[in-house]
Structure 1
């Protein structure tokens, strides 16, 4: 019976008598993970001391070779080639050649051979390039998602019966009615802050009455739309991402597609329409709360009576200022709902991605709302509105 005991891997180096610059290596034994022992150190020594010579590597006496032995051969070959050595391998078998071809593709030799300084220098640029490519891919997907929603909206306009009115009403309740407490508190605090900060400065000049101008214009034109949109982005936008992400993990969205239902028409469109309806109403409500809070602080801190405040408010606050703030609502709502739903569809099939994309959704929605508000400010200023 043939023995199955493995033999220790050995490597022997012989200087050629015929050619002074030729080194002959001869392997013997089994080159497996259990028999390598001193072979890696011996090969490292040979690779580090051999430069600009020809090497003939004879492997005809080797027995079994596994992936560990072959990876050691691949690594040593790469080091020898790096030292400008010409390498010739003789005595290989077909099984060894197949194993070499398989492991060569996954060998880490290229990353190991990169100079450390060059690697550290290139890594930041590599990261920037990868992030930029990912950004472009993400932007492409977002534009495709927006286009699909626009097509579904046109289809809903042409065929009003296809609109899911019950879902829209339910989402208005979730995104609008249930958000009123936090919007009320936030708007009240904003009115208080503006009144207090303005009163401290105006009181120095005896211009207490102008606190009404500051509160009315800043609240209606800028602060109420912006703060309300940020609150809604953190509350409703994140919930849209989480809801759709869970539906994707539980394969409900795949089941809808299998049954012939378009997820965009049944899940995304009602949420977008509901938020477009609800956000302007919340902004108008926030205007009332913010001005009321400012009026209360003006009366307490500046001794400005309520009738005097209201009379000045009627002279200063025209309808156009209110409509400027409310008019921003549909645009903010579209951005928040679209971004929230888009990242919900990006969730992969694991729970960790829900938290990741929910965070990304909130950050992106708030950034886009602020950027959009800045564009509106420039636009209205140029038009003199």
Structure 2
């Protein structure tokens, strides 16, 4: 007589990254053996949100209706939490029992007429879901920043890990190729400031003070802010789209499979390049913006170029220029982090590329303006 050995059911839960997880079911999933497994299953389910789960069931021995219903219920809970679940290694008995029970549950659910929630409940439910979504996005964003910082520290300890060629290429894309649009935008800002100031100052015969307004406002506030906004719309969106396409075509997954860390190879070169390029762009914008204001001052207020430059040397302290340039690395870091983070958030459909690109630009511009406001408050309180 052959004795059949009973193996206790077990579930191994492994989260390989912030976007993928692997579960493995083992043993005999029978009704009388599942008591201690249910708390573990619920704990694993609660830990996953918006990830791709690969559930390996190849090591399951025998399974009855109760065991299969546990799999199906877990599958439904995971889908409600935004997870994509893929079963692997199913036996014929597993597939047959799964199809039978799933069909029965579908027919049963269709025969029931669920009560429609009231309008207030629906609104509160939507608010709750959005709040939870914002919380998880914030947590993932902070985790992304931490992971990038760790790889940056590793690169500092191992300078050979810096991808110099990639950094130079990104400086060319984010800096040199952005010069035409930065020049045009800065020139127009200088023209607008000069025109608006000239109309008011001319009433009081204080034409010479237009130099003070143009020099200080452009170098300290307008050039850094406008340049950062243009770069956020141009380069930040580019980062999101580039990484989003790589995520969509599974190039990032392939890099991880081959042992290449995406943060070190994709994020750090873009971040470092933008932090080096933006201060130079701001200095360039200072020159072009002041030149635009000087031209309008000459045409509208009959202020000669020599008078303008002489006044500018007397009123424009070097600290104003350095304050504006010093904001550049902070603005660049925010733009690069937001752009790369949203690129990694792209789902497996083309529509999400456009959605996350829009989110990237909006968030980057908001954070740049908020950061500039913080700088203004701090520097004003310090009397700088």
1:297 maps to which residue?
296
Q: State the match for 2:374 in structure 1.
A: 375
1:109 equivalent in structure 2: 113
Secondary structure in 2 aligned to 1:350? coil
CA distance in structure 2 between the aligned counterparts of 1:316 and 1:108, rounded to whole angstroms: 78
The superposition leaves residues 86-135 of structure 1 with CA deviations (integer Å, 9 ceiling, x where unpaired) of: xxxxxxxxxx999776544566633xx34xxx611222222111111100
**After the TM superposition, which residues 184-263 of structure 1 pair with which residues of structure 2 at under 5 Å, given as runs?**
184-263=183-262
Q: 1:348, CA displacement in angstroms? A: 1.1
Give, in whole Å, the separation in 1 of the partners of 2:367 and 2:234. 16
Q: What's 1:153 paired with?
A: 152
Q: Which residue of 2 aligns with 1:163?
A: 162
Map 1:111-150 → 2, pairs under 5 A: 113-114=115-116, 119-150=118-149
Q: Given the two structures, how large is their TM-score scaled by the length of structure 2?
A: 0.72
3-state SS of the aligned residue for 1:161? helix
How far 1:352 moved relative to its partner?
1.1
| 1:284-342 Cα distance to aligned partner (Å, 9 max, x none) | 00000000110110011000111111111011111100011011100000000000000
Q: Which runs of 5+ in 1 are unaligned?
A: 1-95
Q: Supply the distance in 1 between the matched residues of 2:291 and 2:163 (Cα, whole angstroms).
A: 37
For these two proteins, the number of residue pairs brought into alignment is 285
- Equivalent position of 1:18 in the other structure: none
Matched, 1:341 2:340: yes
Q: What is the match of residue 352 of structure 2?
A: 353
Show the counterpart of 1:46. none
Question: Structure 1 residues 108 and 130 mapped into 2: Cα distance closer, same or farther (>3 Å)?
Answer: farther
TM norm structure 1: 0.72
Q: Partner of 2:122: helix, strand, or coil?
A: helix
Specify the alignment match of 2:54 in structure 1: none
Quick check: which has more Rg, 1 or 2? Answer: 1
Runs of 4+ residues over 6 Å off in structure 1: 96-100
Distance 1:129 1:212, change over 3 A: same
Distance 1:341 1:106 in 2: 43
Query: Alpha carbons of 1:231 and 1:108: their partners in 2 closer, same or farther (altered >3 Å)?
Result: farther
The whole-number CA distance in structure 2 between the counterparts of 1:380 and 1:324 is 9
User: What is the root-mean-square deviation in Å for CA atoms of aligned residues?
Assistant: 1.7
Residue 95 of structure 2 aligns with which residue? none
Aligned equivalents of 2:101, 2:361: Cα separation in 1: 54
| Paired position in structure 1 for 2:323 | 324
